[in-house]
Amino acid sequence: MLEKILKYAFGLTGALTGMTLIRFLFIQHNKKEYLTTIQGIGIIVFASLVLGVLMFIFGGRIIRLTSYSIEKIEQALQNITMYELIIGAGGLIAGLVAANLISIPIVKIEVIGVPLAIVINILFGICGIYFALLKRNENVFEEIKKTDKKDKPYKLLDTSAIIDGRILDLSRTGFLEGELIVPGFVLEELRHLADSSDDLVRTKGRRGLDVLNLLKNDKFPITIDKTHRDPNTEVDEQLLKMAKEMGAKVITNDYNLGKVAAIRGIEILNINDLANSMKPIAVTGEEMTIRIVKEGKENGQGVGYLDDGTMVVVESACKYKGQLIDVIVTSVLQTSAGRMIFAKFKNIHFSLAE
């Protein structure tokens, strides 16, 4: 209905424009007498009808084109945040200021000075908006903070290192320098673990939360970051990305995470590596007593464990399963996954009835 009204309004405007135009031409050419003659009235009516019909026909297209343009502008404005509008306005002002400074001597050029100055203002205004919106996601203050963080020994805590708990003892010794940062997505993962229906998983999650509370109570420099987890990105991937951006190290017990981080050039502090390096090293020729608890992978091998969980593989000791035996260390294999001792049988220390 509104479109029809506007079309008729365009037609009426065209008719009035035609009548006014012909009257103006008659007056300009000193032919006012034609205004009262049949011939003059006919010309005025004809011109009014022609322009009225043309405006009526093209008015519908103009209305549709205008409506379409307005809808597109509304959609664009809805997709633009207030922050982006402010940034764009700032870029426009900066561009126009620069353009006007450049245009001061150009305006004085005869003939082309003013048009050229207008073109420069338009180009610089558009460029100002474009470059401002291009850098809209970069916060100057945040960039300064990131630069400041790269100069400090920041360390990100992985979920596995928090649940392990030894980070608490390590912080209390005073050997751990810098500030610990717990990303928000790591804290969310701990909360989900603590709410799990599985008893073992729930215990791990609650233990991790207890460790964080104890760290804060010890007044150790620890910060809970507010970065939320991206549902489309794994926690480990997001952790490595954050460490890369901050130039921070990652404290973890995850062996595979350490390997991926090394490939990406991110420093990893593996608590297992630290613990293994602090253990007394079993040297070749040392004697020890262990209990054989299971068969080894190779034929005839027996496997036992020290009190700290170190695996001891003994040659030809499978037949002594369940018994305490004396062994002699032949070699020690040290890896990030732990320590493994290889030994050979010496004699039976004590036999248990199965």
pLDDT band at 352 (very low <50, low <70, confident <90, very high): very low
199 burial (CB, 10 Å; 0-12 / 13-18 / 19+) is exposed
- CATH topology for 281-350 is OB fold (Dihydrolipoamide Acetyltransferase, E2P) (2.40.50)
User: In the chain, what percentage of residues exceed pLDDT 90?
Assistant: 6
Which pLDDT score is estimated for 28?
Answer: 66
Q: Got the DSSP string for 129-173?
A: HHHHHHTTT--HHHHHHHHHHHTS-EEEEPHHHHHH-HHHHHHHH
Residue 144 pLDDT exceeds 70? no
The CATH-assigned architecture of domain 146-276 is 3-Layer(aba) Sandwich (3.40)
pLDDT band at 69 (very low <50, low <70, confident <90, very high): confident
Determine the Cα–Cα distance for residues 122 and 114; give it in Å rounded to an integer. Answer: 13
Paired tokens of 62: 């103009």
pTM (2 decimals)?
Answer: 0.42
pLDDT band at 146 (very low <50, low <70, confident <90, very high): low
End-to-end Cα separation, the chain, in angstroms: 98
pLDDT band at 10 (very low <50, low <70, confident <90, very high): confident
- Residue 327's nearest CA partner among 301, 295, 349 is 349
Determine the Cα–Cα distance for residues 90 and 81; give it in Å rounded to an integer. Answer: 14
Residue 148 pLDDT exceeds 70? no
Which pLDDT score is estimated for 145?
Answer: 53
Specify the range with the lowest mean pLDDT, choosing from 74-78, 273-277, 337-341.
74-78
Half-sphere exposure of 177 (CA within 13 A, CB side): 2
- Residue 242's nearest CA partner among 255, 230, 259, 256 is 230
Q: Are strands 287-295 and 302-305 parallel, antiparallel or unpaired?
A: antiparallel
Paired tokens of 71: 């809808």
Backbone dihedral angles phi then psi of residue 158, each to the nearest 5 degrees:
-85, 160
Which pLDDT score is estimated for 89?
Answer: 85
**E strand or H helix that includes residue 270:** strand 268-270
What does the pLDDT look like over 267-320, one tens digit per residue? 888 888 887 777 666 778 888 888 999 998 888 899 999 876 788 999 988 888
Residue 187 three-state SS: helix
Determine the Cα–Cα distance for residues 55 and 76; give it in Å rounded to an integer. Answer: 30
Number of H helices, E strands in the chain: 12, 10
Backbone dihedral angles phi then psi of residue 211, each to the nearest 5 degrees:
-60, -45
